[in-house]
Chain A
C-alpha cells in the first residue's frame, strides 16, 4: 500500500487520517469468497444463502450497530424486497433481475421511510415492540392476500430472466446465483463503508452514543435517523430480492420472526457497529449451523446454543470484540 505521508505531528490528526484508509487486508474476505467459488462448487447453494445473510446483516448493522435503532423487525424490509420481486415475476410484469433489485430497494426503502416516520419517535423497548408489530402486520397481509402473494405456500417457480440476458439461474448448480449475489454484495458493502466513514456516518455514531448532545450541537437527529433507517431498509430489500431471485421462490418465511432473530444473532455474534461484524458473524453462525446439522440432523442446535452462551458470557463485543481484546496489549505496546 503506497501510504500518503501525513504531514502532522499531532497524533490525533494522524489517527483520523489513517483510520478509514483502504487497507490491503480488506480484500481478504472477497478473495476468500472468490476462492470458495472455485474450491467448493458443490456448496454454492449454501454459499449463496450465506452471502445473502451477510448483506442482510450489514443492512441491520447500519441501523442497529451505527445509528443505535433497536429493531427486531428487520425482516419486514427483507420480505418487502422479496415479495416485490416475487409478485412482479409471478404475474410476469417484471422479470429482469438487476433492475428488479432497484425496484425492490425502492419499495423496501419506501416501507422503511413510512414506518420510520412513525416508529422512530420512540426508543428502546417500545421501538423494539413496534418494529416487531410492523413485521407481524406485513406477514399477516402477505398471508391474507393469498391471491397475489400465494399465502402460506408462497409463490413458486418464479420466471426470473437470465442475468444480463446470458447467464441462466440453474436450480441445481447455482454458479450464476453465487457470483451475482457476490457482486451485488460488494457494491452494497462499498456503499455502506463509504457511508459510515463519512461525516454523516459519524453523526450516526454520535446519536447512538449520546442523542441529547447531538441535539445540543444542532444535528437534525430525527431526520438523520429516518434517512438511515430508509437506507438500511432499502439494502435489506435488496437482500430479500436476491433471495427471491436466487431461489426463484418466495414464501412467508421472508417476513418471519425467525429470519429477523437469526440476523440479529448473527450480528451480535460477529460484533455490531463494526463493518465486518456482519460478515464474520454470518460465516461463523451459518457454517456451524450447516455442518452441525449435516453431521447431527437431530441434535445440532445444542452445539450452536453452547457457542451463543459462550459468546454472551465471555465476549460481549462478539467475535470481533474478542479479537480486539486479545490483540489490544500488543497494539498498545506497538503504539508506545
Chain B
C-alpha cells in the first residue's frame, strides 16, 4: 500500500514537473548573411555557449530559439523579422541586433508588441530610451570612449590629444564621449580629424601626418575593427609616430578579438579601453574561452559581441526563471532591474533607471605573447562604468520632455 502511494505521489510529482516545464520562445534577430555574417556568427555562438555551459540554470524551462536573418543595416528587414516573430511565432522575448539602425527601426514594433527585447550588440547610446522594453547587455559607444578619456588624462598622463574617427555614428559618439571626459579631467583635444567613411578603407597617411605635425601626447582613434584598424596601425608605424612620442589609443572596438591576429606586429603597443577581451583573467572567462575553442577550433575566439550575446541569454533566462516561464513583459523587466551577474567580462548589472548595462572597463595594451600571437595585457581598470551619455543627458540621450 505504502509503495503504491509512494509510486502514485512520485508519478504526480513527475507530471507536475512536466507541466512546469514551460517552454520559452526567443526570437533572435541578427545578420547571418552578407558583410555582417561574421558578427552574426558571434551572436549565434555566444547564445549557443550560454545554453551549453548553463544547462542547469535553465531547468526546468525549455528554451526555443527562433533565428531570423536581418541581412543588412537597412532597418526594413529587421523590422519585418521582429513583426513576424511577434505576430506569427508569438515569441516570449526578442534578442539580438548587431546594427544600431536595425534596433532603432524595430523600436516601435517592440513597443507595440510588449515583449522583453534584449539588445546584444547595437551600441548607439540612446537606443534604450526608444522603447521601454529594451534592455541592453552589450555596451554603449560612450562606455569605452568616456572611460578612455579619464584613463588618458590620469593613467597615461596625457595633456593634449587628437581624435581621428571614421565619419559615422559610432565614430562621432566615441569622439564626443572621449572629448567630454578627457577635457573634464584636465586634458585638451587640440584637433578632430574625420578620416573617411566606414565603407571603404581610405589612405590614412594624410590624416595621421596632420596629427603628427601637431605633436599631441595621444592620438585617439575610432575606426571599424579589421581592415580600417589594421591600416591605421600600419600607417602609424610607417610615419614613425611612436618614436615621435605619440601614443595610439582607442576604444576596444579597434582591437576586436576576431580581428586582432590579422593586424600583425604593427598593432603591438596599441592601448585600448574596453569591457571585454578574450585574454581577461577570470574564472568565468577561462571557462567560456576554453569551451569556445573546443567547439569551434583553436584559432577561433569569442569577442565582445559574443559576450554580449552570452550575457543577453543570461538575462533572458533570469527573467524567465523569475516569471516562471510566463515572461510577462512588465514582470520580466522588473526582474531585470538591478539584476547582477558574474559574466566572462567580470561583474555586470542592469541599471534600473536606464535598462542599460553597468560594467567594468579595462585598459589594455596589445603585446606579443610567447606563443607568437598577439594578446591584450591588462594595465588597469575602472569599476562599474555607466553609460555616461544618459548619465549626463547628452543630446538625444536626454529624456524627452
Contacts and interface: CB of A to CB of B under 8 A. Distances in A.
A301 B37 CA distance: 12
A172 B88 CA distance: 11
A248 interface: yes
A301 B105 contact: no
Q: Which bucket holds chain B's interface residue count?
A: 35 or more
> Does more than half of chain B's interface fall in helix, strand or loop, or is it mixed?
helix
> Does more than half of chain A's interface fall in helix, strand or loop, or is it mixed?
helix
B107 A156 contact: yes
Interface string A239-261: 00001000111011110101100
B169 A153 contact: yes
Nearest to A259: B74
A42 B85 CA distance: 10
Contact of B101 (A140, A152, A259): A152
Contact of B79 (A140, A170, A249, A254): A249
Interface stretch (A23-31, A43-51, A124-132): A43-51
A251 B105 contact: yes
A183 interface: no
Interface string B343-381: 000000000000000000000000000000000000000
Q: Which bucket holds chain A's interface residue count?
A: 35 or more
B67 interface: yes
A259 B71 CA distance: 13
Contacts of A243: 76
A321 interface: no
Contact of A172 (B68, B72, B113, B197): B113
Contact of A249 (B69, B75, B169): B75
Interface string B70-90: 011111100110011011100
A146 B168 CA distance: 9
A176 interface: no
Contact of A43 (B40, B84, B169, B197): B84
B215 to A, nearest CB: 29
A294 B109 contact: no
Contacts of B108: 156-157, 171, 248
Contacts of A144: 167
A252 B72 CA distance: 11
Task: Tell me which of B34, B67, B87 has the highest count of chain A C-beta atoms within 10 A of its own C-beta.
Answer: B87
B84 A46 contact: yes
Contact of B74 (A253, A297, A301): A253
Given A143-B197, A171-B109, A172-B109, A156 B80 contact: no
Contacts of A258: 72, 74
A253 B168 contact: no
Interface string A40-70: 0011011001000000000000000000000
Interface in A281-335: 293-294, 297-301
Contacts of A173: 87
A154 interface: yes
A298 B28 CA distance: 13
Interface string B98-110: 0011001101110
A144 B167 CA distance: 8
A7 to B, nearest CB: 53
5 contacts: A151-B168, A171-B83, A173-B87, A248-B108, A299-B33
Given A154-B75, A172-B86, A297-B67, 12 more contacts: A43-B84, A45-B83, A140-B197, A143-B167, A143-B168, A151-B172, A171-B108, A249-B79, A249-B104, A253-B72, A297-B32, A297-B69
